[in-house]
Amino acid sequence: MNLKQLSKNLGLSQTTVSRALNGYPEVSEATRLRVRQAAEQFNYHPSTRAKGLATGKALAIGHVIPISTKHEMVNPIFGDFIAGAGEAYSRNGYEMILSIVDDASEEAIYRGLKSRRAVDGVVVHGPTLDDPRIPLLNSIDLPFVVHGRSSGATSPYAWLDVNNTRAFHRAASFLYDLGHRRIALINGLESMDFAHRRRAGYEATLHDNAIPIDPALMRSGEMTEEFGYQSTRDMLALKNPPTAIMTSSMISALGVRRAIESLGLVMGRDVSVVTHDDALSYLRNGGDIPIYTSTRSSVRDAGRQLAEMLLAEIANPTEQPQTRLLEAELMVGQSTGPAPTR
Amino acid sequence: MNLKQLSKNLGLSQTTVSRALNGYPEVSEATRLRVRQAAEQFNYHPSTRAKGLATGKALAIGHVIPISTKHEMVNPIFGDFIAGAGEAYSRNGYEMILSIVDDASEEAIYRGLKSRRAVDGVVVHGPTLDDPRIPLLNSIDLPFVVHGRSSGATSPYAWLDVNNTRAFHRAASFLYDLGHRRIALINGLESMDFAHRRRAGYEATLHDNAIPIDPALMRSGEMTEEFGYQSTRDMLALKNPPTAIMTSSMISALGVRRAIESLGLVMGRDVSVVTHDDALSYLRNGGDIPIYTSTRSSVRDAGRQLAEMLLAEIANPTEQPQTRLLEAELMVGQSTGPAPTR
DNA sequence: TTGGGCATCCAAAGCGCTTTGAAATAGATT
DNA sequence: AATCTATTTCAAAGCGCTTTGGATGCCCAA
């Protein structure tokens, strides 16, 4: 069923039917109702493609997911983020189109999306410290919002981020207040902006309290379970081991706990652990008292909010790029306790 | 830059330019080259929308991800599957469009995709035992391939699945051969077809060896870390505890190990564990000797293959729906050993 | 009766592409 | 030189929608 058929069926012109359906005022309420009902009855939906051609809008948002040719890693938070964003899109009649692409061809993809007029805007995932996508997107004039920030950016851009620095500052201070002086950090890849900011927060606490920074207590890598495990084993084997460990992801926190327990130690008593928790649906840190003490911020909710920012930007382009900083909660769980005295 | 401008620029008609770009034979190689170069130079890409309108193809595949309103769970394998499929799409000039949708409105989404002509086909994720989407898609005549199977389906349909029954049969037999007689199963939700098949494989082994089925050793639920942990704690507390545990996901296997170690036991010595491993990129079960003994099948590879099946089906619709059964490897790791004698 | 003002509705152009049916050109055959 | 056959190119229609710029009635004031 297409417009022509529908309007023939109703004995109206395509113009009138189109207007009736799209809520234009030049149509009497009676006909509008009649048209609506017929559309319903015949299950008529305008072709997105044709509509897009006629209006010049794509009614779609692009998500370009870089998969490094080096590490081949699909970000585990990606599913939840997408779920949040997807909700916002469907509520607004937008579609989400996804490109999985190795970082070599990433620029080509963005240019392609733009020149094929496939999307009205894109969201930028996993920004690095000095992300080339930001100047690129600005230069090709494709609306975008960054999930995270890029410290090296020289021009303004729209972003939504968690206050990673503050979160890790608070978490480290919390550990300090519990008496911990040897606090380790198991962080994400240092090329990622969020990892950089988290480290800054962590170091700020050390600095506040005149604790020297010990490189032996800092690791950075892809946040797998194994990485958490190995790093923890290594550090607990030091002559002067940490009494507390901060980690950037629930997944590596699982490895941290495993390492602790594998040494016959108890998490929360012998070694305290604080993790960042993206509130992933398949990694609930739940219970009445959460297992892990964590800096928590729902990545799903971030997806939802970011999508709405982007849609708003597209609906009425502003000169001023919007930004939004979310605060993470510090949730106290069972994985932290006073520093053991020895 | 659009076709009209490009062809004016070249002093050719739109017809010729279009044909040159799309590889039709009615164009001399000389002009084709000239056109190609100009297109390159001006970074010309045909508008997907316009092309779709003209050809009647959408050049897009839909993935509809159901999020149960009840459990709100984003499948952790989803990211990797999508990554595999995405590769196949971009290689073939297709786009992937993603809809996250609660199960109530799922039917409406499929009908919408069809009537808006937004996609040329869809992939069905997470089929249940008797999945209503299969008859629905058949009836609205939207090409699809199912990732998994639906035992209750009455008409043929295209699918790609791992041989879950065989995999779990083999894994259980492997444990049996090691002397295990009390083998537990921590499975996914029983409404999921794959869980059903895995149980069938597990039960077949018990049956082969005249071991009675003990409901106390079988759990089913959403495969979180916590679920693996709790189930294991519970079962190891039985008067007659299992000596081996099979589980349906790496994530719950992490919980299983944690439970084992929390009791001061050693995985692979006191309790053997076999897990199904989807080879998720952020949950590497790696090393020279993998940590977990597992039935392994890359879900990413499955995505790639399934996408290719669907594209082939769309390119030349066959009367006979294609099906593909992948065998899982049984990888022996450190988590299994002979049953302890006591 | 005339004409102005509203409320409705419509024909046709246009969005950027593909594809049909035909024309122009060049080379081969008689 | 005339005819025929490939080869190469083109004009125009059509895909399904929106939107511009009228038309058509109808009612009321003059």
CATH classification at residue A21: 1.10.260.40
Q: Which of B3, B44, B80, B100 would you mutate first to test chain A, the one with the most A CBs within 10 A?
A: B100
Domain that holds residue B211: 164-298
- CATH number of the domain that A203 lies in? 3.40.50.2300
- Inside any domain, residue B333: no
Please tell me the distance from the alpha carbon of residue B93 to that of residue A153, in angstroms, as a whole number. 32
Averaged pLDDT for residues B151-168: 96
Smallest CA–C1' separation from B19, nucleotide: C18
How many angstroms away from the CA of A294 is the closest CA of chain B?
17
Which of A182 and B258 is assigned the larger pLDDT? A182
Please tell me the distance from the alpha carbon of residue A247 to that of residue B341, in angstroms, as a whole number. 40
- Is residue B298 within 8 Å of residue B328, measured between CB atoms? no
Residues A175 and A206 in one domain: yes
Q: Which of B74, B80, B82, B262 would you mutate first to test chain A, the one with the most A CBs within 10 A?
A: B74
Averaged pLDDT for residues A103-129: 90
Averaged pLDDT for residues B93-122: 89
Looking at residue B67, its amino acid is: I
Q: Which residue is nearest to nucleotide D19 (CA to C1')?
A: A15
Residues B21 and B111 in one domain: no
Footprint of strand D on the protein (CB under 7 A): A 2-4, 14-15, 18-19, 21-22, 26, 44-47, 50-51, 53-55; B 11-16, 19, 26-28, 30-31, 50, 53-54, 56
Lowest mean pLDDT among A61-70, A292-301, B145-154, B319-328: A61-70
CA separation, residue B25 to residues B21, B28, B31, B44 (Å): 11, 8, 11, 21
CA separation, residue A54 to residues A46, A141, B57 (Å): 12, 21, 17
Structure tokens at A225: 């379970």
B226/A284 Cβ within 8 A: yes
Averaged pLDDT for residues A192-205: 97
Residues B212 and B294 in one domain: yes
B58/A49 Cβ within 8 A: yes
Is A73 a residue whose pLDDT tops 70?
A: no
- Inside any domain, residue B332: no
Lowest mean pLDDT among A326-330, B42-46, B134-138, B196-200: B42-46
Residues B148 and B263 in one domain: no
Q: Give the nearest chain B residue to A43 (CA atoms).
A: B115
Structure tokens at B169: 């049969």
Chains A, B: CB pairs < 8 Å: 160
- Inside any domain, residue B55: no
- Inside any domain, residue B341: no
Averaged pLDDT for residues B129-150: 95
The DSSP bridge pattern shows strands A121-124 and A60-67 to be: parallel
Is B339 a residue whose pLDDT tops 90?
A: yes
Footprint of strand C on the protein (CB under 7 A): A 11-16, 26-28, 31, 50, 53-54, 56; B 2-4, 14-15, 18-19, 21-22, 44-47, 50-51, 53-55
How many angstroms away from the CA of B260 is the closest CA of chain A?
10
Averaged pLDDT for residues A224-243: 95
Please tell me the distance from the alpha carbon of residue B223 to that of residue B332, in angstroms, as a whole number. 22
- Inside any domain, residue A333: no
Q: State pTM to two decimals.
A: 0.89
Is A287 a residue whose pLDDT tops 90?
A: no
Task: Give the pLDDT confidence score for residue B342 in this predicted structure.
Answer: 62
Residues B150 and B216 in one domain: no
Q: Give the nearest chain B residue to A46 (CA atoms).
A: B116
Please tell me the distance from the alpha carbon of residue B88 to that of residue B84, in angstroms, as a whole number. 7
- Is residue B295 within 8 Å of residue B171, measured between CB atoms? yes
Is A258 a residue whose pLDDT tops 90?
A: no
Residues B152 and B218 in one domain: no
Looking at the 3D structure of chain B, how many domains does it have?
3
pLDDT category at B70 given cuts 50, 70, 90 is: low
Residues B152 and B231 in one domain: no
Backbone angles phi, psi at A243, to 5 degrees: -105, -10
Q: Which residue is nearest to nucleotide C20 (CA to C1')?
A: B15
Residues A136 and A170 in one domain: no
Residues A122 and A18 in one domain: no
Strand D nucleotides, any atom under 7 Å from protein beta carbons: they are 7-22
User: E strand or H helix at B215, and its extent?
Assistant: none
- Inside any domain, residue A214: yes
Task: List pLDDT tens digits, range B271-287.
Answer: 999 999 988 877 778 77
Residues A293 and A313 in one domain: no
Alpha-helix runs per DSSP H in chain B: 3-10, 14-21, 29-41, 48-55, 78-91, 106-115, 133-140, 164-177, 193-208, 225-236, 250-262, 299-315
Averaged pLDDT for residues B285-304: 90
Is A75 a residue whose pLDDT tops 80?
A: no
Nearest partner of B121 among B61, B53, B52, judged by Cα: B61
- Inside any domain, residue A104: yes
- Inside any domain, residue B335: no
N-terminal to C-terminal alpha carbon distance within chain B? 78
Averaged pLDDT for residues B92-103: 87
Handedness of CA B27, B29, B35, B36 (dihedral sign): positive
Of chain A, the percentage scoring pLDDT greater than 70 comes to 97
pLDDT category at A70 given cuts 50, 70, 90 is: low
Task: Give the pLDDT confidence score for residue A203 in this predicted structure.
Answer: 98
Please tell me the distance from the alpha carbon of residue A229 to that of residue A131, in angstroms, as a whole number. 30
Residues B143 and B168 in one domain: no
Q: Give the nearest chain A residue to B86 (CA atoms).
A: A100
Smallest CA–C1' separation from A12, nucleotide: C9
- Is residue A242 within 8 Å of residue A267, measured between CB atoms? no
DSSP-derived 3-state class of residue A319: coil
Contacts of residue A33, defined as CB under 8 A and 6 or more positions apart, other chains included, come to: none
Averaged pLDDT for residues B79-88: 89
Residues B142 and B288 in one domain: no
Burial grade of B68 (CB within 10 A; 0-12, 13-18, 19 or more) = middle
